[in-house]
Structure formats: structure tokens, C-alpha cells
Amino acid sequence: MQNFGISEALSVLGINRSNSGTSTGQKWIKTKGEYLSSFSPVDGKLIGKVQATDESSFTKVVAQSHQAFLEWRLVPAPKRGEVVRQIGEALRKYKEPLGKLVSYEMGKSYQEGLGEVQEMIDICDFAVGLSRQLNGLTMHSERPSHRMYEQYHPLGVIGVISAFNFPVAVWSWNAMIAWVCGDTCIWKPSEKTPLCSIACQNIVNKVFKKNGVPDGVSCIINGDYKIGQLMASNENIPLVSATGSVRMGKAVGRTVSERLGRVLLELGGNNAIIVTEHANLDITIRAALFGAVGTAGQRCTTTRRLIIHEGVYDVVKEKLKKGYSQLRIGNPLDQNNHVGPLIDTLAVKAYRNALQKVNSSGGKFIVSGGVLRGKEYESGCYVKPAIAEVENDFEIVQQETFAPILYLIKFKTLEEALALQNGVKQGLSSAIMTTRLQEMEQFLSNAGSDCGIANVNIGTSGAEIGGAFGGEKETGGGRESGSDSWKVYMRRQTNTINYGDSLPLAQGIKFEI
């Protein structure tokens, strides 16, 4: 593994000080949009600028993507899978510089940046196998000399809106699956991490050019919520997959639904780990620590609440305090550090407001928070992970704060713990720590966790790509990545073939002339 510096990583990835943010495929186009400035939360320095997409350019992108779809859908699925396989190989080649850019532009640790690129590689591998398994169904007809079956066809142009916290992986979850399904993609990344999208498009372009893939199979648009609104309202985009806040998801869902389009929503989480009196406390503390402070608390699967049995509450609290005292906060490119910065000063403001609300609600901090000052923290985005003892019904506890604040809540019975865990509007990820089979099964039963992800003896964070990812309630109900999530990107068709010489009607209906 080479030791890329930031400047070298940017050069290798084709990132300049000033970049077009609009691509119709191989071609980056000049627009009339304003420039987005990408400042690193690591040191506050300007990394580069990206010109936003304007409405006229957006229209060109959609037209090009639709034209490409008419060709791409005719390419056999295994051949589409071969192209995605080569993208996976290219990502292996660029893993280090892309992981470094993710870390520097977003602020997560370098190890997490590398891990995010590995997720991209993994989903490529998954999609390659999937390209030979886009299976339908056959069923028996009630009519003689008839055959019935179901098959799946590509849906069309897929719009992908991604969030800053996973600036490359979530796009790949959607794009790689959509491409093997025969769809084309238009990606609108977060305006907070636009350079990562430029890097990904540059990598993909090389593979597509080598394989003669039609221009428009992969397109990029950049901008704020206004360009997202254009995507949501465009009738030529049958599916919009949006990852982000509940507020954003509701706006996108409303607009797409008004035109009877489809949405795949991956929104907020307010995730809890239940710690029973029978838990293995060593793995509990490790899971809670990473779940709460990984990515500086800026994952949708971040552990926000620790619901602890009263019999082990004090022990867990003391172990957590000891673990937090050993955390190293600083430059995420330094692999000795555990916690990097928040994405920007607006996130810091939200963090500080949350701390104030905990205090005003009657919560008690056992590990105090605060904003870090000094030369090493000159970006103003570094904060201390905090732990507070609270009640589940506190208004601030009911909300998702994208920052490293962990809430401790005490319980007596497992039924009470499940009610506490489920007693929030979000329903993404959940976990239970126990060595008792009964408690495991109760947690996973119909009367257990109401989340889309329910784990036993692992934390709430760190989902594998093989399983469908997503949640219930205000998390949006979407599923992406593994399992049979590919069906979202396709349209299902039921076919009936009459190979006989008569025309019997279903349900025994008689119609004679």
C-alpha cells in the first residue's frame, strides 16, 4: 500500500481546484451554476470547488441518461455484470487515495474511509453474482394449455440522492445494483462532499470507456436541495433513492408520490442497544463505544441510546467512563486517533444545542461534552463525545442528533426495555446484548424490535452488504444493498401464454358469440 498524501490523492483521482459538477457520462459540462466550495472539517482548508448544475444542464443530463437506458437495457445482464466487476477492480486500485479523500472531505477516520471504499468493492462483487440471478417465477395456470410466469425488466433512469456521512458507499449500493438490472443512474451527492462524487465518476468513466458503455449510464449532478427538487419532480426518473434527514425524505417522498413515481427512502435513526443482566459486558462495551463514537456519531446507525438493566447499570456506566477516557480525538488521517471532526460548524451548533437541552430537561452528564479548541482543532469542528443519564421521553432523546452523544436509560424487565427501544419515531437499527436464548428470541419476535435491523451480540452500526439495509417508521421503509433489494430497481411483469387451440377464460367465465 502506497502512502498517498492529500495532494497526491487528489491528483490521482482527477480532482482539481475547480471542477465541473455536471457529467452526462464521459463529458463534464460547463453550467451557469454557482460554485460549491468544499472545505475539509479536518483542518478547515479549501480542498476544491465544484460548479453546481443548473436547470438547463439538468434537463440535458436526464435526456442523455434516458437515451443511454434505451441501449443499456439491451445488453445482456451478465455482460453488464462484467462491467461492474471491472469497476470493483478499479476501486481496488484506487482504494487508498479514494479512502483518503473520503476521510479528508468528510472527516471520518482513515480506517473508516478505507472501509467505505471496501463496501463499494463488496457491493460490486455482490452485483456481479446478481447479474446471473435476476430470477422470476413460474406458476401453474388454471386454464388448460396455458403457462404463466413473472419476469423483471429494467425500470429506467434511477435518481440517487446521497448524504455526506457516506459520500461514496451509499451511491454504490444503488448504482451497482441498478446497473446490473439494466438501469442508468443520475447521482446527486451531498453539497458538503461534492469532490468524492467527481472522483467516483472519473474512476467509472475509465471502465465504461474501455467497455464501450453508452454515455449517460452514469451521470453526476451537483447542487443544494433545489437540484434535488428538480430530480424529485422529473417524470422521466421513475425511481428516486434518497438518503438523508427525515425532513428531506418527506419532501422528496411527497414530490415523487404526487407524480406516482417510486421512492426508496433511507432516513434517520435513533438506535438503541439493550443490555440485559446476562450480557457479555466486554463485547457490550466495545460495541457501544464504536457504535456511539464511530464517524463522530454521524452514522444513521450510530448508537444513540443504551438501555441497561438495573442490575448491571452501574458496572456498565463505569466501564464506559473508562473507555471514553481513553479516546483520542484529532486528525482522522492519523491512525492513532479514534474520533475525527463533525462535518461543519452547523453540526457543531446542533451538538451544542443538544447538550443544552439535555441539561434543561434534567439529564445528568457522566462524561461531559464540549467543543475542542487549539491549533490541532482549528477547523472548529472537533467535539468531545458525551454520555448522559436521561429519560427516554425527553424531547431531545426522541430526536436524532448527528453527533457523539450517548444516552443511558435504566430498565427492570425486558418488556420494559423493548417498549423503551421502540418508543421513538425512528426504526432503523437495534441490538440486544445477552447470552440467554429466550431474551434473544423475544427480541427478534413479533413483539420484539420494530426496526429494520435487529442484531444480537453486535452493535447497531456496521451492516454488511449481503443483507437488505433499511428501516421502518420515520426511517422511510426503504431497502437497498443486499438480499432481494434489486427488485426495487426493476418493474415486475406477469406473463400468460396460451399454446392451445381454444380460448378458455379465467374463473370459468363463458363468453360465446
The residue with cell 481496488 is 92
Burial track 94-127 (b if 16+ CB lie within 10 A, e otherwise) = bbbbbbbbbbbbbbbbbebbbbbbbbbbbbbebb
Active site residue 200: no
Residue from 181, 196, 219, 300 carrying the catalytic annotation: 300
Residue 390, helix vs strand vs coil: coil
Nearest to residue 382, comparing CAs of 395, 369, 400, 365? Answer: 369
Distance CA 90, CA 513 (A): 65
Under 8 Å between Cβ of 377 and 271: no
Residue from 96, 191, 266, 480 carrying the catalytic annotation: 266
The residue with cell 479536518 is 42
Helices and strands in the chain: count of H runs, count of E runs: 14, 24
C-alpha distances (whole Å) from 387 to each of 201, 280, 459 are 40, 21, 17
Distance CA 408, CA 284 (A): 13
H runs (alpha helix) in 25-168:
55-72, 77-93, 95-106, 110-130
Distance CA 373, CA 455 (A): 37
Q: Please report, as a single letter, which amino acid is at residue 453.
A: I
Maximal CA-CA distance, the chain: 91
Active site residue 512: no
Catalytic residue positions, numbered: 266, 300
